């Protein structure tokens, strides 16, 4: 399948609300409709176009004003083409326009191909706009870095102008590919050698002691994921298992476990202990069990259950350690999932904390006296993070004093008197993340 045509198909599906970007990309790659040589370009076109969507529409707007109605495929095609013209250096301009015209011919009527050709040539002739003429700082950041105005305003309020610029710009860059080594089967040194044997170059991650960063090659094209030697996971997410600090014989609850990265990481350190992994959806529970089987983990028990009802399912004080990796806005992982920018709304920062609180209230009584409770999210907003931490402290819990010592040296300096870690995407180059660890008073 033509790689650009495949990218348009995926962008159209996402734009029409058919699926999340990561799922749509995975489904296209699973069909093996794209050659291995084109996978990199395909993912670049999809994620790059999604990431720059607002900017691309701003560039296109003057040239589409006279068009009464666009065929559904035309907007993603034009966005993708302008993205290539202004943000990708390795593709000649004439090739970009010719490919777009050919796709338009195969998908529409001859006049549509002429419109596509005319719009793109006019865009190229005028060149990239001067964003500095936009007088409002919030609006300029929004348009130049392609983030919704409400989110830019929120970050300006929380983090200031400079940090907001940096985060928004970083969100438009490709995220590093990192994997977690399954220490029940190998170690980092051997995993690097195994990857090299299959044409992939990797190096140890500085932040997570079980992580590797892929420097070149595709880890998905090796057999090490399938054989359970490695799992795809961001460095910041790997720190959660360290925060939990599980001992080999502990009984642990992960109340919101899917897709399973953190749960499996914790379980990899258990011997005679157990990990109860919950998720609201039955099909995700099957994925959790599939993950456990792939990694050879016998200590995982996956169950479909709303975490808000965990108090009805388990007895008080049942677990040595509990993790709530709460459902959240995901505003820390925009770099990996750019469609989050367009699907989240300001009201999410109001109703999501309500759900988070309900989960916390349900599971706190399940922690043994003296046990550990960890709260984490992949977002950076205080309403979903520090606000919840303050509530937990009001419920007979104190900060876990050993939390800092369990963290890698590079992270320890970021932790103050409170046993909590907040990583902005700009802090260490990882996903934006929040982790707080508590101990239940005896």
Whether 311 and 365 have beta carbons less than 8 Å apart is answered as yes
Whether 372 and 400 have beta carbons less than 8 Å apart is answered as yes
Whether 369 and 317 have beta carbons less than 8 Å apart is answered as yes
Under DSSP, the state recorded for 234 is -
Which position among 168, 256, 328, 378 bears the catalytic label? Answer: 378
Helices 53-64, 39-51: inter-axial angle, 10-degree rounding: 70
Q: How many residues does the chain have?
A: 442
CA distance 34 to 70: 27
**Nearby residues of 11 by Cβ (< 8 Å), 6 or more positions away:** 46, 49, 50, 76, 79, 80
3-state helix, strand, coil in the chain (%, to 5): 50, 15, 35
Please name every residue paired with 21 in a beta bridge, in sequence order, or none if there are none: none
CA distance 279 to 254: 9
Three-state secondary-structure class, residue 39: helix
Q: Judging by DSSP bridges, how do beta strands 274-279 and 251-254 pair with one another?
A: parallel
| Residue for token pair 């305003």 | 153
In the residue annotation, 378 being an active-site residue is answered as: yes
**Nearby residues of 182 by Cβ (< 8 Å), 6 or more positions away:** 228, 229, 230, 231, 268, 295, 296
Q: What are phi and psi of 181, to 5 degrees?
A: -85, 130
3-state secondary structure 88-151: CCCCCHHHHHHHHHHHHHHHCCHHHHHHHHHHHHHHHHHCCCCHHHCCCHHHHHHHHHCCCHHH
Bond into 259 cis (ω within 30) = yes
Active site residues: 378
């Amino acid at each position: 399948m033509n790689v650009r045509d495949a990218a348009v198909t995926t962008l159209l599906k996402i734009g029409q609300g058919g699926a999340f970007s990561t799922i749509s990309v995975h489904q296209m790659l699973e069909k093996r409709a794209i050659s291995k040589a084109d996978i990199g370009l395909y993912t670049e076109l999809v994620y790059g176009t999604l990431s720059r969507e607002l900017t691309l529409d701003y560039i296109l707007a003057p040239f589409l004003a006279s068009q009464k109605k666009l065929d559904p495929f035309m907007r993603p095609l034009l966005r993708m083409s302008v993205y290539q013209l202004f943000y990708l250096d390795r593709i000649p301009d004439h090739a970009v326009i010719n490919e777009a015209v050919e796709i338009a011919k195969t998908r529409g009527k001859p006049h549509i191909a002429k419109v596509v050709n005319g719009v793109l040539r006019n865009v190229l002739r005028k060149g990239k706009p001067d964003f500095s003429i936009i007088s409002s700082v919030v609006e300029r950041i929004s348009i130049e870095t392609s983030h919704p105005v409400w989110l830019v305003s929120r970050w300006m309020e929380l983090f200031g102008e400079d940090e907001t610029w940096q985060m928004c710009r970083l969100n438009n860059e490709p995220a590093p590919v990192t994997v977690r080594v399954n220490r029940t089967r190998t170690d980092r040194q051997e995993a690097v050698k195994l990857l090299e044997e299959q044409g992939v170059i990797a190096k140890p991650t500085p932040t997570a002691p079980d992580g590797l960063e892929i420097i070149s090659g595709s880890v998905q094209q090796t057999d090490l994921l399938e054989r359970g030697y490695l799992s795809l996971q961001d460095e910041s997410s790997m720190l959660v298992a360290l925060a939990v600090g599980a001992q080999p014989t502990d009984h642990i609850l992960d109340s919101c476990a899917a897709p399973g990265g953190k749960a499996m990481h914790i379980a990899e350190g258990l011997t005679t202990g157990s990990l109860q992994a919950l998720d609201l959806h039955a099909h995700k529970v099957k994925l959790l069990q599939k993950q456990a089987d792939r990694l050879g983990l016998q200590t995982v028990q996956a169950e479909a259950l709303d975490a808000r009802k965990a108090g009805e399912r388990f007895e008080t004080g049942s677990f040595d350690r509990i993790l709530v990796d709460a459902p959240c806005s995901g505003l820390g992982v925009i770099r990996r999932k750019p469609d989050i920018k367009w699907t989240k709304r300001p009201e999410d920062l109001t109703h999501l904390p309500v759900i988070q609180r309900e989960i916390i209230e349900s599971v706190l009584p399940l922690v043994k006296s003296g046990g550990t409770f960890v709260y984490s999210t992949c977002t950076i907003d205080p309403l979903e993070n520090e606000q919840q931490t303050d509530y937990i402290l009001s419920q007979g819990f104190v900060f876990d004093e050993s939390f800092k010592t369990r963290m890698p040296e590079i992270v320890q300096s970021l932790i103050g008197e409170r046993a909590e870690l907040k990583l902005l995407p700009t802090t260490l180059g990882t996903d934006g993340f929040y982790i707080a660890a508590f101990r239940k008073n005896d």
